[in-house]
């Protein structure tokens, strides 16, 4: 089974966002928007949880990034960068909330806005856990990974994501508050995240092709 996986391009792609993770995340939002009656508010809630999962995965990746060395060789170095990444991760989480909270009516949160959210959170958690296990540990990428690179990839991803979503949540929603009740605005936010996921997955495949050509 492991030998078969090693023959799959998606398994060996050096990216924290294999394409199937983005597809699953997008399908989760589509299902909620069109079958559970979600609106933008619930999509934003789910985005917050997913950012937490992304940051947690990046810390795990940084801690186990061995740089081609035995586990204990650079342990203090990895602990330092994992701690620094945790501090930066908290800052990025606060930044995410600040940039997207206009999509949530904090004064009138209802149970209907949270319909199915617990199940969706579990699905997304398993999605990120599978990505971490399959595309980092099982394919042995962690053996040559560098902790700072793993952290920076995550922070660049979040910066790009927030830069794309911010025009909707920070500028358009204050001008058109009724848009927060539109599933199409929620779809636009979910679609923006899907495009960023696909872009970073594509960047990983491009890097893989360049490395193989050099070899």
Domain segments of the chain: what residues? 14-105+114-200
Contact by Cβ (8 Å): 162, 96:
yes
Distance CA 34, CA 151 (A): 35
Predicted local confidence at residue 211, as pLDDT? 42
Average pLDDT for runs of 10 along the chain of length 215: 56 73 95 89 92 97 96 96 97 93 66 67 96 90 94 95 91 80 89 94 58 43
Report the candidate in 55, 50, 47 with the shortest Cα–Cα distance to residue 91.
Answer: 55
Q: Give the pTM.
A: 0.87
Predicted local confidence at residue 143, as pLDDT? 93
Please compute Rg for the chain using Cα positions: 18
End-to-end CA distance of the chain: 26
Instruction: Provide the token pair at 170.
Output: 């920070």
């Amino acid at each position: 089974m492991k030998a078969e996986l090693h023959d799959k391009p998606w398994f060996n792609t050096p990216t924290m966002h294999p394409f199937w993770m983005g597809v699953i995340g997008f399908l989760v939002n589509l299902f909620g928007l069109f079958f559970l009656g979600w609106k933008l508010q619930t999509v934003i809630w789910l985005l917050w949880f997913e950012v937490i999962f992304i940051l947690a995965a990046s810390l795990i990746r940084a801690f186990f990034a061995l740089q081609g060395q035995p586990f204990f060789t650079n342990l203090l170095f990895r602990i330092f960068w994992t701690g620094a990444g945790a501090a930066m991760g908290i800052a990025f989480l606060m930044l995410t909330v600040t940039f997207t909270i206009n999509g949530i009516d904090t004064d009138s949160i209802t149970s209907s806005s949270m319909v199915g959210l617990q199940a969706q959170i579990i699905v997304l958690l398993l999605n990120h856990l599978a990505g971490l296990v399959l595309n980092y540990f099982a394919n042995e990428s962690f053996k040559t990974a560098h902790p700072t690179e793993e952290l920076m990839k995550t922070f660049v991803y979040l910066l790009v994501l927030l830069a794309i979503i911010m025009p909707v949540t920070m500028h358009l929603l204050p001008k058109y508050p009724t848009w927060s009740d539109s599933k199409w605005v929620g779809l636009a936010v979910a679609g923006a995240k899907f495009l960023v996921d696909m872009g970073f997955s594509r960047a990983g495949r491009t890097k893989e092709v360049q490395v193989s050509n050099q070899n």
